[in-house]
Structure 1
Amino acid sequence: MLHLSRKTDVWPRTRDRRAAYSAPSLALRCVLAASLGGFAALSLAPFFLTPLLFVAFAGLFRLVDQTRTWRGALLAGWLFGLAHFLVGLSWIAESFYVDAEQFGALAIPAVAALSAFLAFFPAAACGVAKSISVTGWRLLLAFAVSWTAAEWLRGHVLTGFPWNLIGYAWGVADEPLQAASVIGIYGLSFLTVLLAAAPGLCLREAAPPGLRRWAPLVIAAVGVLALWGFGAVRLAGPTAADVPGVRLRIVQASIPQTMKWDPRESQSILDHYLALSARPAPVQPTHIIWPETAVPYLIAEDASIRNAMAAVVPSGGALLSGAVRRVADFEERPALLNSLLALDPSGDIISAYDKVRLVPFGEYTPLRQVLPLQKLTEGSIDYVPGDARTVLAVPGLPPAGPMICYEAIFPSAAWRGGQPQWLLNVTNDAWFGTSSGPYQHFLAARVRAIEEGLPLVRAANTGISAVTDAYGRIRHSLPLGAVGIIDAALPAALGGQTLYAFFGDAPLALTMLLSLGLIAVSRRREATAPQPP
């Protein structure tokens, strides 16, 4: 428990200590911390109010700097994180209203509870930063290190949820995102916090007088320009050619989630996909791609459905479709797989990938024997994960790196079966309507393309479907809620691996360790320096 009654545990020392620790002052600081967290969320997709990023982190850094102990920093970070996730993850409530009668009442409590839990990660970042270094530039460096470490933990603890990492704020343009090819999204978060919080040094009472006071602001501005400049130079290079002999058709049918599993709509949904797939085109597609769980059938068990789908499969090509498969779990109980299947012109399944990273409470219920809850997806049977992230081999296509639904938010995937030459993300974001969720999801998938130096093909039931090149630049897209198709060539991969694809997060880890070492050396020198008489 936080001991808020202890003045030295929460907020800063000022010239007027009584005013600093009065109840109104504490309340105002709490409101400020929460407001700054909301500002940080508004710097992310789809809002991209980038100046608020600097207001949010410079302000949070200043609050942490002002606190006397780590407890006050912890409180400031938790309030910041609570508002940040309430605003940034508000789209999750949409999924509860798909079946409003059964789950609608849980929408607001679920988002609030999740936000309160996730807020402990920024809280820990602020508390740890304060405990490492008391103030000044050392605190800034410790703040960037601890924030990045907390984001990395959020992406791994309890299966991980690395949604809306702060580095995604640079999705406002293609150029600053290019740094992810070198340092990945976690490295971009480190750099982002360092630059966005630096102006907070200018607000310190102990800041040097005159122009030197504004040096951190100038350094932050130079850093942003350098980030943009690196991206501009990278994007100025020659564009990779398209893969010869491949023409893709991506189908976006925009089936509402309330209709998707209604048995009365099954045939019309299938007919809708078939009609969109069979549309004439100047250049006929070689491969057709449908989104996650496109049609409400057990395709693998129904030859008649596969035969109907085979009617639109191009000669010598394939139809790639998300589908549900029925299996048994390790205890021989009925279970489901969320799969990506490839069908040839005969209707035979020639390749398959099973989703490895499942959504807790969406596709399965953790601790089912203890928690009296049901998953949000249709039916009472849980999904089970596939064996491993494997490359999908389909005749006529380069090897693909499949990502089903929110697998696209996890960086640094290790593929079994070879190195993919393109990324394929099939998803059903109909759960989230026209909220901010689909925009944030699409941006995360684009950053995976930048990190790996691979083109991205995305088929989403209600959008956003798209084709990007290996730099994450959008070549073709269908907006959220649209019905239609994308006919496009498959962009080629870059000539070699990106630095991030080769090294992963190891350079970032080394940088963070060196930063902590620099802080330790500086504190030791300060402690052993002779004091003036």
Structure 2
Amino acid sequence: MIFLAALIFGAISAFAFQPFGMWPLMPPAFALLADLVWRAPRMRSALLVGWLFGLGQFCVGLNWIATAFTFQAKMPPWLGWLAVVLLSLYLAVYPMLATGLAKRFGGSRLSLVLALGGGWALTEWLRATMFTGFSWNPVGVALVDIPLRDTTRLIGTYGLSGLLVLIGGAAWLLAKREWKPGAGIVAGAIVLLVAADLAVPVLLDRPSLPIRIVQPNIGQDQRWSPDAAKAHLDALVDMSVGGRTTPRLLFWPESAVTYPLDDQRPAAKWNVVGDRLAATSGLGADQLLLAGSEALNSSDGVNVTGAANRVFVLGPLGNVLGRYDKAHLVPYGEYLPMRPLLSTLGISRLAPGDLDFAAGPGPQTLTLPGGTKVGLQICYEMIFSGEVVDRANRPDFLFNPSNDAWFGRWGPPQHLAQARLRAVEEGLPVIRATPTGISALVDADGALLSSLPWKTAGVIDATLPAPRGPTLFATLGNLVPILAAMALLLAAIALHGRRRYSAT
């Protein structure tokens, strides 16, 4: 019975994430999980409870992955649902490890809660790190719309996840009439929230730059059509140069220009120059365009031997003023692991094209004409807490061009929620431009200033928000949540050991 309950509670907790945002479901889910682990008769039962809880949460929360397969004609749609389940079977190992730690050191209810909270934060960090990492939907992101999100300035997203687990555990302790430890955890959460509000860095003085974010509403089923490429580019240009305002910075989505804007083959030089001029036609002398496109590499000057997912900073004459190559690539989307074997089996990349992308060097800051600094993270890269900023050259804002057009209805709002936590963690505004939504402007506190709905064409005209000074997390990164998680585990071990010593 406890195993079925774990699976059901996990599945229900997924509705705390976007697009539903029913965050009050998450703390009770962890209260019930703590109770199930406590009642599990053996270690292997506790491990299975955690694995089933994670399986339910991931299968429901990641259902948007199945939608991606509907855009790949070479693979049947049912394979998408199989991929969701198979991925969830693996991801559920991390909650399983957390409940295993809780059972091992849960000699008392309090030590179980402390071990579960610390173990959950630590295993979420591991999930973001192991085997290239997949950190989508850390449980803390469910709190993005309430004040507790401010604590990520201090403890980061994985710390926020651990805090959420502790709050659920506190509810369980209070339900069991363990008033002091339950109230102590709640008081600790309040103190942490107050500390985060007192430690908020000041807003920095930066020039007020008018910006425009362009969302053309070009679906995944249309955007790679060669026959429609020019029409799509014309639509982007028209949306960029019209209106009553004259933006200084224009932001287009990931791969907005489906022509390659860089090509190492000499024979392609004039096509590339023409495409850059077409993309920047109508720009004023002091305007800049930040646009995503592919770049093609050639080792012999004749054949295409590689590619990169790139963002270009373009001037009004199509001149390239800066570039950034995506570093954290999506397995099966931008490259095919074990290509010789999988290609033989008829499995291909979900994104169009047969060439694997090459990874860029990592987070970079580009200095734009005028001195404003932009940090870039393309699409999927934005979900990795602590890995989005070049700390040696801190930017004034983050630009996250993305293609959520193949993420279904659930993926885009989940992606935006995670981008908002990056804003709070780093104290930096975030700009998101996507082809079908949700494009958005987020301030340095994670507040959603403006957004364009899913599957809607439009632009956001605004002024670039000011950044804050570096937060504690921006300075120390994931060292903070890792140390906090270890402290909780050590406290649980100490309580567990003291209880065992008292019993003897």
Q: TM-score, structure 1 length as denominator? A: 0.87
Q: Which runs of structure 2 are paired with 1:109-124 in the superposition (5 Å)?
A: 109-124=82-97
Q: Which runs of structure 2 are paired with 1:263-302 in the superposition (5 Å)?
A: 263-281=226-244, 283-301=245-263, 302=272
Q: CA deviation at 1:268?
A: 0.8
Matched, 1:181 2:153: yes
Q: Which runs of structure 2 are paired with 1:213-224 in the superposition (5 Å)?
A: 213-215=178-180, 218-219=183-184, 222=187
Match of 2:71, SS? coil
Whether the 8 Å CA contact 2:442–2:449 is kept in 1: the answer is: yes
Whether the 8 Å CA contact 2:405–2:435 is kept in 1: the answer is: yes
Residue aligning to 2:327: 356
Residue aligning to 1:199: 171
How many residue pairs end up in the alignment? 490
In the superposition, relative to structure 1, how do residues 228 and 522 fare at CA in structure 2: closer, same or farther (>3 Å)? closer
Match of 2:315 among 313, 338, 344: 344
In the superposition, relative to structure 1, how do residues 234 and 463 fare at CA in structure 2: closer, same or farther (>3 Å)? farther
In the superposition, relative to structure 1, how do residues 241 and 486 fare at CA in structure 2: closer, same or farther (>3 Å)? farther
Whether the 8 Å CA contact 2:404–2:412 is kept in 1: the answer is: yes
Whether the 8 Å CA contact 1:177–1:231 is kept in 2: the answer is: no
Match of 1:86 among 41, 59, 62: 59
Distance in 1 of aligned mates of 2:42 and 2:81: 33
Write out per-residue CA displacement over residues 90-137 of structure 1, whole angstroms, 9 at most, x where no aligned residue.
Answer: 011111112356342311111111111111111121122212333421
Match of 2:410 among 436, 444, 449: 436
Write out per-residue CA displacement over residues 340-359 of structure 1, whole angstroms, 9 at most, x where no aligned residue.
Answer: 00111111111100000000
Structure 2 residues not aligned, in runs of 5+: 264-271
Whether the 8 Å CA contact 1:453–1:493 is kept in 2: the answer is: yes
Matched, 1:153 2:123: no
Match of 2:35 among 29, 47, 62: 62
Matched, 1:411 2:373: no
Residue aligning to 1:262: 225
Residue aligning to 2:269: none
Matched, 1:368 2:368: no
Distance in 2 of aligned mates of 1:527 and 1:215: 21
Q: Which runs of structure 2 are paired with 1:375-414 in the superposition (5 Å)?
A: 375-396=349-370, 398-413=372-387, 414=389
Whether the 8 Å CA contact 1:470–1:492 is kept in 2: the answer is: yes
Residue aligning to 2:396: 421
Write out per-residue CA displacement over residues 192-211 of structure 1, whole angstroms, 9 at most, x where no aligned residue.
Answer: 111112222345xxx5xxxx
Distance in 2 of aligned mates of 1:508 and 1:458: 26
Write out per-residue CA displacement over residues 244-296 of structure 1, whole angstroms, 9 at most, x where no aligned residue.
Answer: 25211111001010001111111110111011011132x31112111100021
Write out per-residue CA displacement over residues 380-403 of structure 1, whole angstroms, 9 at most, x where no aligned residue.
Answer: 111111123211222135111101
Greater C-alpha Rg: 1
In the superposition, relative to structure 1, how do residues 217 and 303 fare at CA in structure 2: closer, same or farther (>3 Å)? same
Q: Which runs of structure 2 are paired with 1:322-341 in the superposition (5 Å)?
A: 322-328=292-298, 334-341=305-312
Match of 2:441, SS? strand
Match of 2:31, SS? helix
In the superposition, relative to structure 1, how do residues 103 and 403 fare at CA in structure 2: closer, same or farther (>3 Å)? farther
Letter in 1 for 2:445: Y
Residue aligning to 1:490: 464
Distance in 1 of aligned mates of 2:489 and 2:68: 42
Write out per-residue CA displacement over residues 36-68 of structure 1, whole angstroms, 9 at most, x where no aligned residue.
Answer: 101221111221222211221111111101112
Residue aligning to 1:6: none
Match of 2:257, SS? coil
Distance in 2 of aligned mates of 1:260 and 1:488: 27
Match of 2:432 among 441, 454, 458: 458
Write out per-residue CA displacement over residues 319-343 of structure 1, whole angstroms, 9 at most, x where no aligned residue.
Answer: 110010112589x972210000011
Residue aligning to 1:253: 216
Whether the 8 Å CA contact 2:159–2:484 is kept in 1: the answer is: no
In the superposition, relative to structure 1, how do residues 530 and 186 fare at CA in structure 2: closer, same or farther (>3 Å)? closer
In the superposition, relative to structure 1, how do residues 227 and 38 fare at CA in structure 2: closer, same or farther (>3 Å)? farther
Distance in 2 of aligned mates of 1:502 and 1:454: 13
In the superposition, relative to structure 1, how do residues 400 and 79 fare at CA in structure 2: closer, same or farther (>3 Å)? same
Letter in 2 for 1:425: N
Distance in 2 of aligned mates of 1:192 and 1:118: 19
Letter in 2 for 1:183: I
Distance in 1 of aligned mates of 2:81 and 2:440: 31
Distance in 2 of aligned mates of 1:334 and 1:91: 32
Matched, 1:37 2:7: no
In the superposition, relative to structure 1, how do residues 304 and 152 fare at CA in structure 2: closer, same or farther (>3 Å)? same
In the superposition, relative to structure 1, how do residues 484 and 52 fare at CA in structure 2: closer, same or farther (>3 Å)? same
Match of 1:518 among 473, 487, 491: 491
Q: TM-score, structure 2 length as denominator? A: 0.91
Distance in 2 of aligned mates of 1:116 and 1:316: 52
Letter in 2 for 1:440: Q
Structure 1 residues not aligned, in runs of 5+: 1-27
Q: CA deviation at 1:224?
A: 5.9
Q: CA deviation at 1:417?
A: 6.3
In the superposition, relative to structure 1, how do residues 329 and 147 fare at CA in structure 2: closer, same or farther (>3 Å)? farther
Match of 1:97, SS? helix
In the superposition, relative to structure 1, how do residues 243 and 489 fare at CA in structure 2: closer, same or farther (>3 Å)? farther
Distance in 2 of aligned mates of 1:479 and 1:336: 31
In the superposition, relative to structure 1, how do residues 316 and 250 fare at CA in structure 2: closer, same or farther (>3 Å)? same
Q: CA deviation at 1:187?
A: 0.8
Deviates more, 1:175-184 or 1:40-49: 40-49
Residue aligning to 1:12: none
Distance in 1 of aligned mates of 2:129 and 2:488: 23
Whether the 8 Å CA contact 2:248–2:286 is kept in 1: the answer is: yes
Match of 2:322, SS? strand
Q: Which runs of structure 2 are paired with 1:499-518 in the superposition (5 Å)?
A: 499-518=472-491
Write out per-residue CA displacement over residues 169-197 of structure 1, whole angstroms, 9 at most, x where no aligned residue.
Answer: 11133x22111111100111111111112
Letter in 1 for 2:103: K
In the superposition, relative to structure 1, how do residues 126 and 523 fare at CA in structure 2: closer, same or farther (>3 Å)? closer
Letter in 1 for 2:161: S
Whether the 8 Å CA contact 2:18–2:413 is kept in 1: the answer is: yes
Whether the 8 Å CA contact 2:174–2:183 is kept in 1: the answer is: no
Structure with higher RCO (Cα < 8 A, 6+ apart): 2
Residue aligning to 2:448: 474
